[in-house]
Structure 1
């Protein structure tokens, strides 16, 4: 249900394409990395620091460092994520 493709990671930035299927519910996540998520296709519900927002194509979600967050996929979607610093756990 989750397909990730690291598009680039240089300097302190990482750019990742994530494909998610409708109905996917992510576990609560929390990491030191700042994250910006751009909804390229579809729609999702993001919960960030206890605040829930529905995002659709063209919307952007900022996730600060060390803030709990999770995603619920409302329609098949593609999200473009930017992380800083680089998430070493996603580098092959």
Structure 2
């Protein structure tokens, strides 16, 4: 078992409108934290093989794609493989995403 400290994650990526921290990963799962500014967008896309589960820590997001809905702090959702999905931050947000199997883009 590996323990990853907040100040020393596996990786930090600056994004337009936010930041992504790859917190921890195994061959089967990757855990990612996103801090998003109001208005930040994740364009609609699909993961061919990965299931994504998301927990909203703070803020409100508009889900876009195959499902349209507002989610807020305390809400969670799971996105099956092949489902078109995206988000827009309606206010500053922090979320945790888990992907299984891990997305190669986050484990390279």
Q: Does the alignment reach a TM-score above 0.5?
A: yes
Partner residue, 2:5: none
Rg larger for: 2
Partner residue, 2:32: 16
> Partner of 1:26: helix, strand, or coil?
strand
Aligned-partner Cα distance in 1 for 2:106–2:18: 13
> Partner of 1:86: helix, strand, or coil?
coil
Aligned-partner Cα distance in 2 for 1:70–1:42: 16
Aligned-partner Cα distance in 2 for 1:6–1:24: 19
Root mean square deviation, CA, Å: 1.2
Partner residue, 1:40: 57
| Larger RCO of the pair (alpha carbons < 8 Å, separation 6+) | 1
Consecutive aligned runs of 4 or more in structure 1 exceeding 4 Å deviation? none
